[in-house]
Amino acid sequence: MEGLPDSIPSWETLATWRDNFYRNSREAFTTMKPQGYIRLVVILGAYALLRPYIMKIGAKLQERQHERDALEELLPADIHPNELRTGKKFAIPGVEESDTEEDEEAKPGQWGKTARVRQRKFIRNKLEEEERRLLAEQEEEEDKDIAHLLED
Protein backbone atom coordinates (compact mmCIF):
# COMPACT_ATOMS: atom_id res chain seq x y z
CA MET A 1 0.00 0.00 0.00
CA GLU A 2 1.23 3.42 -0.83
CA GLY A 3 1.16 6.35 1.56
CA LEU A 4 1.48 4.30 4.76
CA PRO A 5 4.56 4.67 6.93
CA ASP A 6 6.82 1.63 7.33
CA SER A 7 5.85 1.14 10.99
CA ILE A 8 2.15 0.51 10.23
CA PRO A 9 1.53 -3.06 9.00
CA SER A 10 -0.60 -3.56 5.93
CA TRP A 11 -3.97 -5.35 5.92
CA GLU A 12 -2.39 -8.45 4.46
CA THR A 13 0.12 -8.63 7.29
CA LEU A 14 -2.63 -8.20 9.90
CA ALA A 15 -4.66 -10.98 8.25
CA THR A 16 -1.63 -13.28 8.31
CA TRP A 17 -1.03 -12.56 12.01
CA ARG A 18 -4.69 -13.27 12.79
CA ASP A 19 -4.63 -16.58 10.89
CA ASN A 20 -1.37 -17.66 12.57
CA PHE A 21 -2.74 -16.83 16.05
CA TYR A 22 -5.99 -18.69 15.45
CA ARG A 23 -4.23 -21.76 13.99
CA ASN A 24 -1.49 -21.92 16.67
CA SER A 25 -3.85 -21.46 19.64
CA ARG A 26 -6.31 -24.09 18.27
CA GLU A 27 -3.54 -26.63 17.56
CA ALA A 28 -1.88 -26.01 20.92
CA PHE A 29 -4.92 -27.39 22.74
CA THR A 30 -6.01 -30.06 20.24
CA THR A 31 -2.58 -31.70 20.02
CA MET A 32 -1.74 -31.39 23.74
CA LYS A 33 -1.16 -34.63 25.64
CA PRO A 34 -2.41 -35.27 29.21
CA GLN A 35 1.03 -34.38 30.58
CA GLY A 36 0.76 -30.93 28.95
CA TYR A 37 -2.69 -30.35 30.47
CA ILE A 38 -1.42 -31.32 33.92
CA ARG A 39 1.56 -29.00 33.55
CA LEU A 40 -0.74 -26.13 32.46
CA VAL A 41 -3.12 -26.70 35.40
CA VAL A 42 -0.21 -26.82 37.89
CA ILE A 43 1.30 -23.60 36.58
CA LEU A 44 -2.02 -21.72 36.58
CA GLY A 45 -2.96 -23.09 40.02
CA ALA A 46 0.40 -22.14 41.53
CA TYR A 47 0.07 -18.65 40.09
CA ALA A 48 -3.47 -18.28 41.46
CA LEU A 49 -2.44 -19.53 44.92
CA LEU A 50 0.85 -17.65 45.27
CA ARG A 51 -0.09 -14.32 43.71
CA PRO A 52 -1.84 -12.85 46.80
CA TYR A 53 1.15 -13.69 49.01
CA ILE A 54 3.61 -12.23 46.54
CA MET A 55 1.50 -9.05 46.37
CA LYS A 56 1.48 -8.79 50.20
CA ILE A 57 5.25 -9.21 50.36
CA GLY A 58 5.69 -6.54 47.71
CA ALA A 59 3.34 -4.19 49.57
CA LYS A 60 5.29 -4.67 52.83
CA LEU A 61 8.59 -3.98 51.10
CA GLN A 62 7.17 -0.87 49.47
CA GLU A 63 5.73 0.34 52.79
CA ARG A 64 9.12 -0.11 54.51
CA GLN A 65 10.79 1.86 51.75
CA HIS A 66 8.23 4.67 52.08
CA GLU A 67 8.78 4.72 55.86
CA ARG A 68 12.55 4.98 55.35
CA ASP A 69 12.09 7.82 52.88
CA ALA A 70 9.72 9.66 55.24
CA LEU A 71 12.09 9.15 58.17
CA GLU A 72 15.00 10.59 56.22
CA GLU A 73 12.96 13.73 55.52
CA LEU A 74 11.98 14.13 59.17
CA LEU A 75 15.42 13.62 60.71
CA PRO A 76 16.51 16.70 62.65
CA ALA A 77 19.29 18.86 61.32
CA ASP A 78 22.74 18.74 62.89
CA ILE A 79 22.24 22.23 64.33
CA HIS A 80 18.86 23.30 65.61
CA PRO A 81 17.83 26.81 64.46
CA ASN A 82 17.41 27.95 68.08
CA GLU A 83 21.05 27.13 68.72
CA LEU A 84 22.03 29.57 65.98
CA ARG A 85 20.12 32.38 67.72
CA THR A 86 22.00 31.97 71.01
CA GLY A 87 25.18 33.43 69.57
CA LYS A 88 27.27 30.29 69.89
CA LYS A 89 30.10 29.96 67.43
CA PHE A 90 30.20 26.75 65.48
CA ALA A 91 33.32 25.42 63.87
CA ILE A 92 33.22 25.57 60.11
CA PRO A 93 35.42 22.88 58.55
CA GLY A 94 38.50 24.30 56.90
CA VAL A 95 38.33 27.66 58.68
CA GLU A 96 40.72 28.40 61.51
CA GLU A 97 39.98 31.05 64.10
CA SER A 98 43.10 33.08 63.28
CA ASP A 99 42.76 35.67 60.56
CA THR A 100 46.41 35.91 59.63
CA GLU A 101 47.46 36.03 56.03
CA GLU A 102 49.90 33.15 56.40
CA ASP A 103 46.99 30.79 57.16
CA GLU A 104 45.35 31.81 53.91
CA GLU A 105 48.44 31.09 51.81
CA ALA A 106 47.74 28.19 49.48
CA LYS A 107 50.16 25.30 49.53
CA PRO A 108 51.07 23.56 46.29
CA GLY A 109 48.43 21.02 45.34
CA GLN A 110 45.66 22.83 47.24
CA TRP A 111 44.23 25.06 44.57
CA GLY A 112 41.22 27.06 45.60
CA LYS A 113 41.80 26.67 49.33
CA THR A 114 42.12 30.40 49.89
CA ALA A 115 38.91 31.04 48.01
CA ARG A 116 37.08 28.41 50.08
CA VAL A 117 38.45 29.87 53.32
CA ARG A 118 37.44 33.39 52.28
CA GLN A 119 33.96 32.18 51.36
CA ARG A 120 33.55 30.38 54.68
CA LYS A 121 34.72 33.43 56.62
CA PHE A 122 32.36 35.60 54.61
CA ILE A 123 29.46 33.28 55.42
CA ARG A 124 30.41 33.23 59.11
CA ASN A 125 30.55 37.05 59.21
CA LYS A 126 27.17 37.34 57.50
CA LEU A 127 25.66 34.85 59.98
CA GLU A 128 27.07 36.85 62.90
CA GLU A 129 25.68 40.10 61.44
CA GLU A 130 22.26 38.49 61.02
CA GLU A 131 22.36 37.20 64.61
CA ARG A 132 23.22 40.69 65.89
CA ARG A 133 20.41 42.21 63.82
CA LEU A 134 17.91 39.66 65.15
CA LEU A 135 19.05 40.29 68.72
CA ALA A 136 18.67 44.04 68.24
CA GLU A 137 15.16 43.61 66.81
CA GLN A 138 14.24 41.32 69.67
CA GLU A 139 15.50 43.88 72.22
CA GLU A 140 13.52 46.64 70.48
CA GLU A 141 10.36 44.54 70.62
CA GLU A 142 10.95 43.85 74.31
CA ASP A 143 11.43 47.57 74.91
CA LYS A 144 8.16 48.29 73.09
CA ASP A 145 6.36 45.68 75.19
CA ILE A 146 7.75 47.17 78.38
CA ALA A 147 6.84 50.68 77.28
CA HIS A 148 3.32 49.49 76.42
CA LEU A 149 2.94 47.89 79.86
CA LEU A 150 4.23 51.03 81.60
CA GLU A 151 1.75 53.26 79.72
CA ASP A 152 -1.24 51.28 80.95
Instruction: Using the predicted structure, report yes or no on whether residue 116 has a pLDDT greater than 90.
Output: no
Mean pLDDT of the chain: 81
CA–CA dist 29, 45 (Å, integer):
18
What's the rounded mean pLDDT across residues 53-63? 96
The verdict on 118 and 142 lying in the same domain is: yes
* HSE, side-chain direction, 13 A CA sphere, residue 111: 0
The verdict on 85 and 144 lying in the same domain is: yes
pLDDT band at 64 (very low <50, low <70, confident <90, very high): very high
* Residue at a domain's end among 55, 74, 93: 74
Closest CA to 65 of 77, 54, 57: 57
CA–CA dist 20, 31 (Å, integer):
16
pLDDT in tens, 91-112: 666 656 654 444 445 556 667 7
- Tell me which amino acid residue 92 is: I
Q: Is residue 133 part of a domain?
A: yes
Tell me, yes or no, if the pTM score tops 0.75.
Answer: no
Q: Is residue 37 part of a domain?
A: yes
| Ramachandran assignment for 3, one of left (phi > 0), alpha (psi -120 to 50 degrees), beta (any other) | left
